Amino acid sequence: MKITRILAHRVDLPLHETTYKWSGGKSVTVFDSTVVCVETDSGVVGWGEVCPLGPFYLPAYAEGVRSGIRELGPRLLGFDPTQLGVLNTQMDACLKGHPHVKSGIDMACWDVLGKVSGLPVCTLLGGRFGESVRLYRAISQEDPDAMARRVAQYRAEGYSRFQLKVGGDPDTDIERIRAVRGVLRPGDRLVADANTGWTQHEAVRVARAVRDLDVYIEQPCLTYEECLAVRRACGLPFVLDENIDGLDVLLRARSDLAMDVVNLKISKLGGITRTRQARDLCASMGIAMTLEDSWGGDIVTAAIAHVAHSTPEPLRFTSTDFNSYVTVSIAEGAPRRVDGFMRASAAPGLGVEPRRDVLGPPVLVVE
Ligand code: MG
């Protein structure tokens, strides 16, 4: 089987909450998502999606996904999409870095492999652990009371895991964490995610001010070294995210005992193949994981469900259903949240069928 064409569609994904805000005053109102289609000489077609969290979250931006596919795509024509190791080696040989460019292509090739083999991607990734995948809700940065009201609202919808966007003024963040923990019950879990927004001394202050609470601290500062210093000073369960973008830093962090949970995002690592590698390593080392992506719609959500559902349950901290945050559905068959949980599709591949009328014509054709 050979790749004959690679197409990219651009889709705008507005938000039900109209805007999503996090540390440092960063916000997005409409997400720019790229849907990738890999066509083959056998007629089987695979789908992937990449949606950066704006241009200022990771070293990734939406137009860069398309631009990167324009650069890399011609070098992949003729390759077998079912041979994921060979394909990823070729992608790395032709384009250094830029994992977000490779992610959608890799995802689409997993979809092809599943369709060809007649198996859901989660089976190909190791099998289905448990009945469903527990979801968290990200709570956009607002005033403490507004965030507490949001948490109460989403809790009533079935979520029991919440990730607060902090990383702002430390005193307000302390209020945010206290206000939200106050509306939660025992057994609910709360993560205060600063998204690199605090300086080291601010992070230590916040962590010490809330250490009587049941709360996790996620990625407080910009650098790994600052985060490690905060981790050693705070005594709260700790999550690393933005710094963990490959195996080298993951192994270093494990050696330093720098975190209890690691956040693995599909496009941050370069696709499902690379995420599986990190996921399996974490599972072997006993590190729990948040399995997700930067953002996305139905196709990213489907891919997250397959990666998460094939991860052993004790090490599956949380995942998220981005397709419930956005107002546009780009594919049928994607997982739908039920009481704070979702399940990977049992259909072959990712189990999604894109809505061609929503995608519109491709903005890029590599052939
Ligand atoms: Mg995070």
Tokens of 354: 């894109």
Note whether 251 and 201 are same-domain residues.
yes
The catalytic residue positions are 165, 265
User: Read out DSSP for 260-305?
Assistant: SEEEEEHHHHTSHHHHHHHHHHHHHHT-EEEEE-SS-SHHHHHHHH
Note whether 313 and 285 are same-domain residues.
yes
* pLDDT by position in tens, the chain (length 367): 999 999 999 999 999 999 999 999 999 999 999 999 999 999 999 999 999 999 999 999 999 999 999 999 999 999 999 999 999 999 999 999 999 999 999 999 999 999 999 999 999 999 999 999 999 999 999 999 999 999 999 999 999 999 999 999 999 999 999 999 999 999 999 999 999 999 999 999 999 999 999 999 999 999 999 999 999 999 999 999 999 999 999 999 999 999 999 999 999 999 999 999 999 999 999 999 999 999 999 999 999 999 999 999 999 999 999 999 999 999 999 999 999 999 999 999 999 999 999 999 999 999 9
Q: Domain with 286 in it: what CATH number?
A: 3.20.20.120
Task: Give the structural domain span for 322.
Answer: 123-351
Note whether 7 and 93 are same-domain residues.
yes
Tokens of 76: 């992949």
Pairing of strands 341-342, 133-134: antiparallel
Nearest to 73, CA basis, from 106, 119, 32: 106
Distance 358 CA to ligand 1 centre (A): 29
Which residues 6+ apart lie within 8 Å of 269 measured at CB?
99, 103, 245, 246, 275, 278
Distance 326 CA to ligand 1 centre (A): 19
Note whether 11 and 153 are same-domain residues.
no
Total structural domains in the chain?
Answer: 2
Q: Identify the pLDDT of residue 216.
A: 98
Note whether 179 and 64 are same-domain residues.
no
Distance 218 CA to ligand 1 centre (A): 6
Q: Identify the pLDDT of residue 213.
A: 97
Tokens of 197: 């927004």
Nearest to 37, CA basis, from 235, 285, 299, 262: 299
Kindly provide the b/e burial profile for residues 311-345, where b requires at least 16 CB atoms within 10 angstroms of the residue's own CB. beeebbbbbbbbbbbbebebbebbbebeebbbbbb
Note whether 24 and 156 are same-domain residues.
no
Distance 264 CA to ligand 1 centre (A): 9
- As a whole number of angstroms, the distance between CA 358 and CA 75 comes to 29
Note whether 138 and 75 are same-domain residues.
no
Q: Identify the pLDDT of residue 22.
A: 96
Note whether 112 and 127 are same-domain residues.
no
Residue 48: its H or E element: strand 45-50
Q: Domain with 109 in it: what CATH number?
A: 3.30.390.10
Note whether 95 and 156 are same-domain residues.
no
Distance 242 CA to ligand 1 centre (A): 7
Order of strands, sheet of 261-265, starting from the edge strand that comes earlier in the sequence: 136-139, 161-165, 189-193, 216-218, 238-240, 261-265, 288-292, 316-319
Note whether 72 and 159 are same-domain residues.
no
Nearest to 208, CA basis, from 230, 223, 183: 230
Decide: 32 and 50 in contact? Cβ < 8 Å.
no
Tokens of 346: 């049992």
Note whether 199 and 279 are same-domain residues.
yes
Q: Identify the pLDDT of residue 187.
A: 92
Distance 106 CA to ligand 1 centre (A): 23
Q: Identify the pLDDT of residue 195.
A: 98
Tokens of 252: 């270093």
Nearest to 311, CA basis, from 280, 269, 344, 274: 280
Distance 45 CA to ligand 1 centre (A): 32
Note whether 110 and 147 are same-domain residues.
no
Pairing of strands 161-165, 189-193: parallel
Distance 65 CA to ligand 1 centre (A): 21
